[in-house]
Structure 1
């Protein structure tokens, strides 16, 4: 009887321990409780008079509509799989002038051609896997992405590691990624007859139009030797809770790019070569040519201050430089204002300034003796201001139902952006997050 009692006691202890372990697994807090669905859409419009496609002059008008769907699925208590699909459908007056002679109107850099290159769609798919340790102090992630448009494809992959210390008051994140891109080299239409077995001035294009200015148009044009590009990125973020009301973060990013870093259909005009014209359109002397390597560095910092239950101040600064001579500074300030338990108003201001790269010059200012040249005003010196007003609705209890899901949040943002060279843009976005019970 004594041995039976001892055996029963041991068995009972084992069962109790197993039950406790099973309960700990059963009630273990999940990283993501339920499937979440995000529906995002944005509208973008810009204008300006320094289009890179037409060599630093001409219309920059563009409109873009970008819907995206993101689904996050909990695979178990620790792992989440997130997938996103997006399409960016744009209409661009400047890109239509890759071939300004395929439309019905008069060729002019300040007018959009009505040809096939006026619009296109960019498609993107991305998948991210995230795994958290049992104590939630370690997080691993990996992603894969692919995107394409009519002249460009990109494949990306990478991962990250996050470690939390000091009762989650300190956080360190390391990340790395690589992107393998490929171009289908599309050159300005007037340059195409001047390489390979092209017919030069005997091509049908020049039979249909009269060349004025320098009637002996003969660009010394050679096509690009390679159309691939690789980008390798590594970065680190260090976040620290400084007090009950202050949180700071430091970040560092390093990017190495190799391959084709110029855009094949962006024109360049030389000051020491007489211009040739068809109608009101100057014929390109060459395409943009840039070095086949670029190294970028960025250092940034954030400081978030909790002022009261209604006000928070979020600030961000970033310093950027590269080996092309470009230096930039970014300053961003956002002041979320809680209007109640569910509504938050988010006014923000962003200031940006940069120096020009070593290879930039405006329209008709480069010399033909140079090795590298661009008239893309994104690489020029300028100052920019952006003003944003956002409104957020958040209900963590998801009391409102929509399409069979619980409505968790709605975010609306409106932004106005302007540079001191006349470039202006408007951006509006709407995001809805739904949760499956």
Structure 2
């Protein structure tokens, strides 16, 4: 965490001088410049644990025990220019550390292999400029993610425009992720059987376009329509996922080198008086691997008093199986592609829990700048013998 704070401090020191206005400009235009200032700081910490018996590393059978501790630190700075345009700069740094029983089975003979735990670091930078008079915003972002067997670089650009009455807003966004996957093979597929031996690297690229339109219908009802188009190319398998065929032979997972995804969504928020909001969400998903899914979510934030609220939520999800999936020892040599990862199987799931939000006017525990504290808990179950729990804490400083 010390390194995170040093990174934030360095970024602030670099940004601040570059956006300070000189006195000469103030005198010539009569405009009083606004220096770069802190908008907010967010810290989100979470703990996740899961269990199940369908590990893809061992061909769709075996323990799926996993724990993950995640911390995300975000800083937002803003500044208005002489043309009354609002510039917002964001820096985010995330660090996850996980332990996985199934990853430990990449080497079936090891009690604790190099793959049983890993740490992922994922920093990102963002910038946006908002023309408040015209109601338009342009945003750019860069990101990266690194862990033991994966390296990713991403970029995005977005544009949004509000309607003349400011009740509607259209947003278009394009994202790309350029990844390198280290081919860590199951121990029995390594030519020399070495613990740190790999099969080289392979590329995986993702391109995504998103469109959304939000509308304030009246004082109580807000609606949003969402549509995404996603194209993935390259090495889309995971090299350490085993697949056991009906003849008893074992193979590495093999999937097509392209995948097209089409998610379509809808959000609706209805304000029932001053103390209750009904938040709804629905998403339809389909892809060219034969997988179709539906998601429905309901959240009911209840304001107990002006500073304290509780938000129970429930989400139902169901999907069909991808055409390349089959359970343990169900694939045959006639199959061109094969996979026993139950994430691509037919299943339905339930996710439910609640959040508690505390935002007193005088600050949390009397600290004026500590504006909000939120604690959320969720329990997740699949009908294929898998369950998980997650608890998260969000602290906001303004």
Report the TM range for the smaller structure's normalisation. 0.7 to 0.9
**Residue-by-residue CA offset, 1:174-212 (whole Å, 9 max, x unaligned):** 00010000011000001113xxxx5xxxx799xxxxxxx
TM-score, normalised by the number of residues in structure 2: 0.87
Partners of 1:248 and 1:242 in 2: how far apart? Answer: 7
Aligned to 2:369: 406
Post-superposition shift, 1:396?
A: 5.7
The alignment's C-alpha RMSD in Å is 2.3
**Residue-by-residue CA offset, 1:318-347 (whole Å, 9 max, x unaligned):** 000000000000000000000101111000
**Residue-by-residue CA offset, 1:19-73 (whole Å, 9 max, x unaligned):** 9x846x66x9x9x963321111000000000000000000000000001111111
Aligned to 1:171: 169
Partners of 2:39 and 2:78 within 8 A in 1 = yes
Kindly tell me: are residues 418 and 136 of structure 1, through their superposed partners in 2, closer, same or farther at Cα, counting changes over 3 Å?
farther
Partners of 2:257 and 2:338 in 1: how far apart? Answer: 13
Post-superposition shift, 1:395?
A: 3.8
User: Unpaired runs of 5+ in structure 1?
Assistant: 1-17, 104-113, 206-222, 276-284
Aligned to 1:96: 104
Match of 1:319 among 257, 265, 284: 284
Number of aligned pairs? 366
Kindly tell me: are residues 128 and 397 of structure 1, through their superposed partners in 2, closer, same or farther at Cα, counting changes over 3 Å?
farther
Aligned to 2:128: 130
Partners of 1:136 and 1:424 in 2: how far apart? Answer: 48
Matches within 5 A, 1:319-358: 319-358=284-323
Post-superposition shift, 1:224?
A: 7.6
Partners of 1:401 and 1:180 in 2: how far apart? Answer: 45
Partners of 1:123 and 1:419 in 2: how far apart? Answer: 29
**Residue-by-residue CA offset, 1:89-142 (whole Å, 9 max, x unaligned):** 000000000112122xxxxxxxxxx22211111110001101111426111110
1:420 to 2:383 alignment: yes
Aligned to 1:62: 66
Aligned to 2:14: none
Partners of 2:194 and 2:228 in 1: how far apart? Answer: 50
Matches within 5 A, 1:209-248: 227-248=202-223
User: Unpaired runs of 5+ in structure 2?
Assistant: 1-25
Partners of 1:189 and 1:224 in 2: how far apart? Answer: 11
Aligned to 1:15: none
Partners of 1:400 and 1:406 within 8 A in 2 = no
Partners of 1:184 and 1:317 in 2: how far apart? Answer: 36
Match of 2:256 among 281, 284, 291: 291
TM-score, normalised by the number of residues in structure 1: 0.80
Matches within 5 A, 1:374-413: 374-395=339-360, 398=363, 402=367, 406-413=369-376
Q: Which has the higher strand share?
A: 2
**Residue-by-residue CA offset, 1:1-23 (whole Å, 9 max, x unaligned):** xxxxxxxxxxxxxxxxx99x846
Aligned to 2:237: 262
Post-superposition shift, 1:369?
A: 2.1
Aligned to 2:327: 362
Kindly tell me: are residues 315 and 191 of structure 1, through their superposed partners in 2, closer, same or farther at Cα, counting changes over 3 Å?
same
Matches within 5 A, 1:101-180: 101-103=109-111, 114-135=112-133, 137-180=135-178
